[in-house]
Amino acid sequence: MNIEKVLQDLMVLTGFSEEDGRVLRETAHVTSQWAEEFAQAFYDLLFSYEPTARVFQEGERPAREASLKEWYDGVIHGNFTPEFWQQQWVVGLIHIARRVTNPYMLGMTSRVQQLFLHKCLEAFPPQQAEAVYGAFKRATDVVAGLVTEGYFQNYMLAMERVAGFRKKLIIRMLDMEIKRMLDEAGVQLSISDWTASDT
């Protein structure tokens, strides 16, 4: 599965559209003022929680905050170019290298969305707040989906290259092992439920 197919699936299933980009661009003059607060809150939490604090090297927080603010700026200005989406996919690969697990990433995505909702409710009338938050949430849900799938796909590709196995063989082996694990968990699937994929 390539990034284009993953992106298409995510956009359809989240309801993300060009309209979301337009809504975000039209309100960026307000939401851009929140970047510093977001970066501060984001990294205050990560550095205060020992498992996530271990991810970072000493002295790198300013660079990480700058990267987050740059990402946030791209989102709130609706700069959803092919290059932007490709970069989110690559983040999954970076997360593998930095030992940033998907629970860390998804938890922090949720925190950013919660903070953005709070700020929207303070800054906009209710109907507009809902529209701006909805656009931001759909965009960041797509981002989270790309990062998660990029993590998984790149991890599988690295395993394939290291082990020298073909992807179809790995998938068949995984199918057998997952079926065994489901049996151990007491989950019984009928033959129609169990459909192996060659993708």
List CB contacts of 27: < 8 A, sequence separation 6 or more: 76, 124, 128, 132
pTM: 0.87
Per-residue confidence band for 192, with pLDDT thresholds at 50, 70 and 90:
low
For the domain made up of 3-164, give the CATH fold. Answer: Globin-like (1.10.490)
Per-residue confidence band for 199, with pLDDT thresholds at 50, 70 and 90:
very low
Residue 191 has pLDDT above 60, yes or no: no
User: Tens digit of pLDDT for each residue in 131-147?
Assistant: 999 999 999 999 999 99
DSSP for 156-181, written as a single string: HHHHHHHHT--HHHHHHHHHHHHHHH
Residues of the chain with CATH 1.10.490.10: 3-164
What's the confidence (pLDDT) of residue 148? 95
